[in-house]
A and B are shown apart, each in its own frame.
Chain A
Amino acid sequence: MRTRRIGVVAAATTTLALALAACGGGEGSGDDPTDGSTDAAVEPADITLWLAGADTPDELRQYLIDTFEAENPGSTLTIEEQDWADLVTKLTTALPDAANTPDVVELGNTQSPTFTTVGAFREISPELYEELGGDKLLPSFVEVGSVDGTVYALPYYFGSRYMFYRADLWSDAGLEVPATLAEFGEAVKSLRTDDLSGFAMGGQDWRNGISWVFANGGELAVKEGDQWTSTLSDPSTIAGLEMWQDVYEGASNLPATERDVAYWDFLNDSAEGGAPAAATIMAPGWARWSIGDLTTNEEGDEVRDGMADASKFDIFALPGVDGGVAPVFAGGSNIGISATSRHPELSENLLQIIFSDEYQTMLAENGLGPANSDFTQVMTGDKFGQTLVETAAGSKLTPAAPGWAAIEGAFVYEELFQKIAEGGDVTELAAEYDEKLTPMLNGQSG
């Protein structure tokens, strides 16, 4: 029975090892960030830029690499693309570690306060700030990137959301582009059938849903003194949430648990040219390139034609409660230099390129709202640019509270909107979630 005993001992050891390994998750690195060396001379080096998602087109990336290498002989720039979904995680572990930190990072505008308040970014000196654009830079983005007047993260680009719709389906039903938010709701509800969402919207998709809150004059949270308070129970917020509930229930066929949905797939004709699954969607401006009829590009790949047929695909800005344009969620990114970067001078040189006239123009030409307002008019050449600028002008940011990233990480608003989408009582849910969210907003764990 000797072999059996070895087996048992091996199993017991394995068990112990596995049990110990069970607590591997969530361990915070105990290393202190070593001080970034402050060498006087700028030595040539390779610096790393993290870009989030695929939003920055390849042409712009190549421009950054080429220009950086030309202006900084001997140095190179490596661009690494990070997934939006793990960005906060990656930043949390990489930024404090001087050996592994990226030098310059793009991050979501609403994620900025979480990192600027703990000193993750290097200060942008007032002189550099002026040089990069100063007061011409988008004020709301500069504000979320600043702590007590010191700037840490700058705007990278802005975007906003508007409505993409099937002009053919709308006109067949005798519908016009709506002038008010209530008209919009009625129109998309009348379009809905079992196979067609009048307006495709997932139940957990609060980033689109909060437009209804903002349009009704509501807020998610307000800051009084230095304390944040969740204001879901405010009558205006409740009115907005109830209006959204009505639209979701009456116009969308999507499950209440859906969140990051590729809505553009719903708007396109289904395979073999069949009917689409939605008559209207809400999406960021760049969704245009995923919408339209199929065509073949220069490389011979099958792609969408970017809504070439205006009688079939068209856009409008979400209308406000009393007409005009509804304030939507202001998407976009900030960009900053890691506090532990070993090459701060080279990183600042990269920022100079990003905020140069050429690069700002390139952003605008590619449908990404430029950080410097001087270049916004480059975008207004077509209806897409005009609608983007028009909706961005009224757009709003989510609360710049210290606990915001934690709230996003725990899917709290997703859960609230799901429960509303499932037909829950908005007033009761608002009170319940206010209680949950207020401490979280102030950075206390919920």
Chain B
Amino acid sequence: MTTTAQTAPSAPPAPAAPRRGRTPAAPYALLVPAVAVLLVGLGYPVYWQVVTSMQQFGLAQQFGAPPEFVGLDNYARIFTDDRLWAVVTRSIVFCLVNAFVTVAIGLGLALLMRAVHRGVRVVLQVSLLLAWATPLVATVTVFRWLFDYRTGVVNWLLVRVGFEQAAGFAWLSQTLTFFLVATFVIVWMSVPFVALSLYAGLTQVSDDVLEAARLDGAGPAQIVWNILLPLVRPVLAIVLLLQIIWDLRVFAQIRLLQDAGANVSETNLLGNFIYELGIGSQDFSGAAAVSIFVLLLTVVLSAPYVRSLMKEDAA
């Protein structure tokens, strides 16, 4: 079919556009669409969030009553509420534990994938992808069934192994075991992303470096600690940062587990607390104030990481 290609009318030569000089404005102009999307998609909601947090905004305002400006009253009310600080402490501890456990397990799996035979690795990767691709509600439902006090397979197995007291044990009834189950769910769902990202990072490590290390007599542990980890440190740092942010915002998993029967006020994390205030109790202004606080908290928690990443980049 080369003939047709040859006979096809060729596009008229582009008119020689008057080339402006290399104006420094061009890169900024290219940034405009991205900034516009950010402003519309995120700036506008945040603006409303800030406005709402400084108003008296409840169900009556939702149905058309004019909201009253109350300045920082909502913040004062929220910050003097003992519930908030209990939830904040619980959320930060839960977030850090989950983020580190996830990254540790993910790193372990990534190293494992590097070490095993190709066939095994493909099976591992497919399994991870499947776990990751399962919809959240489906995953939590399966975990609820696993840990059901009456018909759950976990209790049944524990009894089989000899823990008689596990018969009928209600995992979600106690705060500690509730968060244990929640951790299982969240780690299960976030490990694949970490493992695959880290594995991708590990594949970039040149074999020459490793061979040189082996020649110098480094053992496997030394290679991991002194060569592999420092080389994938940037990926590791980003993944950990993302995990911390995601785990601080965890909401649906907790909510779905609470629906299976739990002490709601003692198992609320920040997301659930905001939901309960705003949607549950129609205190929209209080919920907005807590949301702004969570935004600042996220920035504070992640700032050191972002700064160290920037510094590394500049170096």
Contact = CB atoms under 8 A, between A and B. Distances in A.
Contacts of A339: 63
A38 interface: no
A23 B246 CA distance: 12
Interface stretch (A28-36, A132-140, A312-320, A379-387): A28-36
A410 B276 contact: yes
A23 B302 contact: no
A253 B168 CA distance: 9
B281 A445 contact: yes
Contacts of B170: 255, 257-258
B109 interface: no
B13 interface: no
Interface string B277-302: 11111111111101110110011001
Contacts, number: 175
B199 interface: no
B173 interface: yes
Contacts of A17: 38, 42
B277 A411 contact: no
A12 B280 CA distance: 34
Interface residues of B, number: 68
Interface residues of A, number: 59
Nearest to B285: A28
A404 to B, nearest CB: 11
B288 A26 contact: yes
B245 A18 contact: yes
Interface string A1-44: 10011011001101101111111111111101100000000000
Interface of B: 38, 42, 45-46, 48-49, 51-52, 57-65, 77, 149-150, 168, 170, 172-173, 234, 238, 241-242, 245-246, 248-249, 251, 259, 261-265, 271, 274-288, 290-292, 294-295, 298-299, 302, 306, 309-310, 312-313
27 contacts: A1-B313, A12-B309, A12-B310, A14-B242, A15-B302, A17-B38, A20-B42, A20-B45, A22-B295, A23-B292, A23-B295, A25-B291, A26-B291, A27-B45, A27-B48, A29-B62, A96-B62, A118-B59, A118-B63, A119-B63, A202-B261, A204-B261, A255-B173, A256-B173, A410-B276, A410-B281, A445-B286
Interface of A: 1, 4-5, 7-8, 11-12, 14-15, 17-30, 32-33, 85, 88-89, 92, 95-96, 114-115, 117-120, 202, 204, 253, 255-259, 277, 339, 405-406, 409-411, 414-415, 418, 440, 443, 445-446
